[in-house]
Structure 1
């Protein structure tokens, strides 16, 4: 899996739904797909980085390497709100 992560080839899709953006990321080798939803005001790079972190977590969990305390790190919030 480390070689897959370092290769960095993923399919990323952005779908705007009103004030939100759904970001889906697929690893073409394992066909693992994850999605997140974030505010439209967040930058595309920030949303993509969060989705990739989730993908790496899910892939690690499927491989048996993730523990409950290995949740993806979330950047500190500058605006009030809840990360879902």
Structure 2
């Protein structure tokens, strides 16, 4: 998914007008979740990946 992170699994689950996106870094098992409007799935995915980057950098 993201070149500098390595392999990332992204899962999106819609619940009404909301979308929950979870990004998991395969090598470390670190997971980040973001929730946002279902009308903007790419934006919510970018947010989840950005949170994942911060979590990995902090560890």
TM-score (norm 2): 0.85
Greater RCO, CA 8 A, separation 6+: 2
Q: Kindly state the Cα deviation for residue 8 of structure 1 after the two structures are TM-superposed.
A: 3.9
Q: Which has the higher strand share?
A: 2
CA distance in 2 between partners of 1:37 and 1:47 (Å): 7
Contact 1:5 1:56 in 2 (8 A): no
Residue 49 of structure 1 aligns with which residue? Answer: 46
Report the number of matched residues: 58
Determine the C-alpha separation between the residues in 2 that align with 1:10 and 1:38: 20
CA RMSD across the alignment: 1.8
Where in structure 2 are there 5+ consecutive unaligned residues? none
- Partner residue of 1:21? 19
